Structure 1
């Protein structure tokens, strides 16, 4: 595992959402070219709005989309796939979503609950009785899948992921992560205290694998991507080594990273916590389904499931894969999350009460990228939700 891999973590999420990112709704939303809602068969191009923001912050590329329950309303991508080249980034490119994957993992598990393969109160001990028995004194086996998905398990954020051999089949790698977690120190506030944990999502993914008899990747394709028509969705880094056929990752300072391609990402074992990539249009399909479900309209799962996904189960401001904050522009509570593998950044703001969402992506890591994404989201919210 090289130096690059050691520094790739998916911890940049809540600090942005409830810190700098929370500026949306408080600060001046900014100005930009007016965006008009598209007709039934039209999708507005957002490039003219995104390009000035991209240039201002010096990003290689910046993409955005506006979504309603009906689907994609507007989309645009400005800039280039790799700094120092003139290869344009396009609306058909795939973007790494980082921890925005968590909402999809929670959605998958909700589907398995609906199918009767899991329960919200299924414990680690139910899924892995031998491992739980060996760690009986710590309470590890009593952790529920709902606690894992809401970051209330008391588990640490990460383990030394690089110590898990990639040569093993992926389910064995995740089982190794569960074993490592069984000996980890569990916070005394387990069940009540919020502690953001990528490890918790990996264990939840392993529980899904155990219940359904397939890898998390296979389950995501069969249960989420294919039913929603997300044909571009996949896992890990994007692009072909030696080519510039997808957005190239850039570090915080805007310099292109050395590694490029499927392996330029966190270890695959971390998949449930943050390795999904897809086009903006396909991400919009997932978000549109959430909007429909939240409003009681026809969606992939039943309405009660969407309410469960979008409501903090233990109070606070984190539901299942989503931060929950109140915003006047959203008519009340809105869902939000961001994700980064330090080379890319993806941000989502979803307002079910307004049947509206904004998605922003870039191929550069924070913190500069975070400011740009915040500004882009603010401008689109301002233009689309004119009172």
Structure 2
């Protein structure tokens, strides 16, 4: 790869939007769009676009190396979806091809939406990031790493510093857990690996708790809050937390490879752990 191509790739990667833009708590602000940054180079889009073939090659190589059934990806430059790539199939038996409307589960990218919801509630004056989480989730009231450890705050949960141990892939297996089952887990005691606020350790449980905070503070179920205050204002009308809500003709199904054969992994229904990784969306929707 030439030095010029490497430079263009680096510049382009800096321009890719991987998460939804944060929206304000007020509905009027939610429906407005911030003006994109202005750049002095009039040939910016043309120059960045010249790297698309190299990126397509990298993605094709990734798909082949990883032996994935199908992929879809997009590149957003200055607030606009400028390039889309797809490969493979969204359903193995029918060989139905992936397209820009195919809906994939995006796993932990869901956490970005949960964080947006928390910040909306913060901006609305309904909570503070330094509030103890137990104020909004009473099941956490007796949870302490040690007798003199500080309480877990919302900021700790957002920054993966609540002291919970890393919990992949356990978290993905809890997507269908009910609210009561999650409450029982918290009452039984979540294990700690360190005291809150002392170190980073990735926690799916922490973001499930943030989803509970969104529901308890807003007075509406997490999926409804996200739909009404984040997805719809952004025009993300194909995005959902429930796989069964996606038309069969658009759903990209999940598979695992066993003895050279793709075996479908049935999608778990949306439950209490959805805020940490249950969202499904398309390239065209996510680009918004």
State the TM-score, normalizing by the size of structure 2: 0.69
- 1:206 pairs with one of 203, 212, 220: 212
Instruction: Find out whether 1:280 has 2:286 as its counterpart.
Output: no
Q: Which residue of 2 aligns with 1:178?
A: 186
User: Cα distance, 1:206 vs. partner?
Assistant: 0.8
What CA distance in whole angstroms lies between the structure 1 residues aligned with 2:156 and 2:54?
39
1:51-70 superposed matches below 5 A: 51=60, 54-55=63-64, 57-70=66-79
Q: Secondary structure at the match of 2:104?
A: strand
Q: Which residue of 1 aligns with 2:251?
A: 246
User: Cα distance, 1:156 vs. partner?
Assistant: 3.0
CA-atom RMSD, angstroms? 3.8
Are 1:154 and 1:188, in contact at CA under 8 Å, matched by a contact in 2? yes
User: Cα distance, 1:84 vs. partner?
Assistant: 5.1
Instruction: Tell me the alpha carbon deviations over residues 232-272 of structure 1, each in whole angstroms, 9 at most, x when there is no partner.
Output: 1101446879x664212121567433344xxx137622111
Q: Secondary structure at the match of 2:236?
A: coil
Instruction: Find out whether 1:111 has 2:117 as its counterpart.
Output: no
1:204–1:79 distance in 2 versus 1, CA, 3 Å = same
Q: Which residue of 1 aligns with 2:99?
A: 90
1:122–1:69 distance in 2 versus 1, CA, 3 Å = farther
Q: Which residue of 2 aligns with 1:100?
A: 109
1:207–1:200 distance in 2 versus 1, CA, 3 Å = same
How many positions carry a matched residue from both structures? Answer: 240
Q: Secondary structure at the match of 1:75?
A: strand
Instruction: Tell me the alpha carbon deviations over residues 209-240 of structure 1, each in whole angstroms, 9 at most, x when there is no partner.
Output: 11111111111111110111110110144687
What CA distance in whole angstroms lies between the structure 2 residues aligned with 1:112 and 1:269?
19
User: Cα distance, 1:189 vs. partner?
Assistant: 3.6
State the TM-score, normalizing by the size of structure 1: 0.53
Are 1:125 and 1:132, in contact at CA under 8 Å, matched by a contact in 2? yes
User: Cα distance, 1:68 vs. partner?
Assistant: 2.6
Larger displacement relative to structure 2 (62-71 or 112-121):
62-71
What CA distance in whole angstroms lies between the structure 2 residues aligned with 1:125 and 1:94?
36
User: Cα distance, 1:123 vs. partner?
Assistant: 1.1
Structure 1: 5+ residue stretches without partners: 1-24, 30-35, 39-43, 286-387
Larger radius of gyration: 2
Instruction: Tell me the alpha carbon deviations over residues 327-350 of structure 1, each in whole angstroms, 9 at most, x when there is no partner.
Output: xxxxxxxxxxxxxxxxxxxxxxxx
Are 1:135 and 1:141, in contact at CA under 8 Å, matched by a contact in 2? no
Are 1:89 and 1:246, in contact at CA under 8 Å, matched by a contact in 2? no
What CA distance in whole angstroms lies between the structure 1 residues aligned with 2:173 and 2:149?
21
Q: Which residue of 2 aligns with 1:150?
A: 159
User: Cα distance, 1:204 vs. partner?
Assistant: 1.2
What CA distance in whole angstroms lies between the structure 1 residues aligned with 2:101 and 2:175?
34
What CA distance in whole angstroms lies between the structure 2 residues aligned with 1:48 and 1:152?
37
